[in-house]
A and B are shown apart, each in its own frame.
Chain A
Amino acid sequence: MSFSFPGSEQLLPEAPRARMLSVAGLAALFVAAMAFIFPSLLPLSRESSSARISTAVYPAGQAWALPHPGEGEWLMPAGAVTIGDAIFVADTGNNRILRLERERGRATVLGGAGLTLQMPMAIATDGQRLFVANSLAGDIVILDPSGQLESTITLPAGATGAPPRPIGVAVVPGGGLVVSDAEHHRVLRLDAAGAVVWSVGTGARGGGTEGFNVPAAVTVDDAGNIYVVDTLNARVVVLSSTGRFIRQIGERGDTAGTLARPKGVAVDETRDIFVSDGLLAAVEVFDPDGKYLGLIGRRDPSDVQSTSALVAPAGISITDGVLLVTDRHAGLVAFDLPPRH
């Protein structure tokens, strides 16, 4: 069945459809509080100033009560996942994980000073735990939702001996993880104990059916198929659960339907594939066979040159029909997806 996205005039200006969240410090909080007090300010138009856009909060009108001034500010976050009412954000620039609680309207820092992260580039969940790609430490950190450190998986060194640099992580249904290693251009399948089951990639920059050129975000669909953002090859590679190449999605370009700098990937229940692009400042959607379906984030869904609600989109996830985009500069941007068939 063909699929099309509604026009951006419906997608973007209405707060319930395009909800943005950003914890940008006291100034934003002040404006958020004003928006809460004076709800007539909402919904905000896309022509609003960036400060006002950042306060079209999630949910609209609710301010985040931060435990300390500045503690809830984030810096260039790269990914976020949802567990129940909480959103967990990889606050990459601050080397930490933030927990945002929608109902209680507050932000907390997981783990406190005892949790040392070095440029966490991705975060995944199995609904019970958090898995953080701790890129510059070369490991995967496993936390419970309260921030308690459960364990750490140290990834094996690559052929060059250089430390691995994980920048993507996904949970495999039934157990285990898939991890991308940008340093060695490989994708690792780990079992539940963290042991390597298989590895795909030549160990150097590559392409085709066996290689990657900076593999980044990864995700897994309900059938166990693995989707890998192959950043510098401008594509998404689909692997079977055993690591066999199935197909690639997208091709290099800067027009609608092509990819310039893909960053994040998510798959919905119909196995349509959502790809965020950091240069196109949009999320592109493809069907399971790779046919381009549409564009999310631009005023004109058919025009990648039209005004964007995004700045530098990175990690994306889909939960309960909501596409959550982590933008390195705009914060979190949530889109209600249209009903799927």
Chain B
Amino acid sequence: MAAAARIIAAAILGVTLIMLGTSTTLGEDRRISGTQHDVAIPGTPVCMYCHIPHAANAETLWASKPNMTGAFSGLRPLCFSCHDGTVTSLGSFAFDLARPLHMRSPGVVGADCDRCHDAHGTPYAKFLKLPGAADFCQGCHAVAGPVNHPVDIDARSLGIEPQDSSWNPYAGDFHGTRLWSEDGTGPGDYMKCLSCHATHGGEPDTSFNTMPSGSLCTNCHVGKRQVPE
């Protein structure tokens, strides 16, 4: 009886997922069709590429959970199954298990990779759930203020020039403090959260710093006199 109930529930959920995936009235901020995650052959349901509609082993109707514990568990294997250089090369560095990753709770809805990303589409770049670009962190960490290192400041106007301003994980470059445009969407002169931190690919044993602790500060502050008054 319980098994039958589970099958019925799975069927209802599967049909619902298919309807949601193909619907154009679902809401502009939560749909896959037309996004980079729409990998469907035109005219076919977009859901089935991640969700198994029938006889799925996993509760959430996606492929069975091969890795139940450890750093490569929860949603991470599912994301990596495309972001591994096959379907796309984008973000592949985020799956380097030797590098720290922002805290997540594997398998917990809303606290896994989906703590920050919503694979079903958002109005923001990189499927992020909050706006803010390079200041995205402040959506949860409302600690950037007078008692912390200032952000959203024009560093170059203060005479600060990072010695290493390149951080390009795709080229294996995980060192550097980037300056951003004022809105945080591209290169510029402004100090942002992501100048010093990278939620994927930061230095081991740091707060996702983009340089080792010994050089993070001095990369911009070459001598104490460069600290603005």
Contact = CB atoms under 8 A, between A and B. Distances in A.
Contacts of B40: 205
Nearest to A185: B41
A232 interface: yes
B142 interface: no
B89 interface: yes
Given A94-B172, A253-B55, A314-B84, A76 B66 contact: no
Contact of A312 (B55, B72, B98): B72
Interface stretch (A6-14, A239-247, A274-282): A274-282
Contacts of A231: 86-87
Given A214-B39, A305-B64, A279 B81 contact: yes
Given A93-B96, A312-B77, A254 B58 contact: yes
A94 B96 CA distance: 11
Interface string A174-210: 0000000010000000000000000000001111000
Interface string B11-37: 000000000000000000000000000
B135 to A, nearest CB: 29
- Report, as a range, how many residues of chain A touch the other chain: 35 or more
Interface string A59-101: 0000000000000000110100000000000001111000000
A205 B85 contact: no
Contacts of B63: 254, 260-261, 279-280
Nearest to A215: B86
Contact of A135 (B58, B64, B85): B85
- Report, as a range, how many residues of chain B touch the other chain: 35 or more
Which interface residue of B42, B52, B92 has the most chain A CB atoms within 10 A?
A: B52
Interface string A274-308: 00001111100000000000000000000011001
Nearest to B93: A93
Given A252-B48, A254-B63, A255-B57, A312 B41 contact: no
Given A232-B49, A279-B81, A305-B64, A76 B39 contact: no
23 contacts: A76-B95, A93-B92, A121-B85, A121-B86, A205-B40, A205-B42, A206-B41, A213-B39, A214-B39, A216-B86, A231-B87, A254-B58, A254-B62, A255-B55, A261-B81, A279-B66, A280-B63, A281-B67, A282-B66, A305-B57, A308-B67, A311-B66, A328-B84
Interface of A: 75-76, 78, 92-95, 119, 121, 135-136, 165, 167, 182, 204-207, 211, 213-214, 216, 231-233, 252-255, 260-261, 263, 278-282, 304-305, 308, 310-312, 314, 328-329
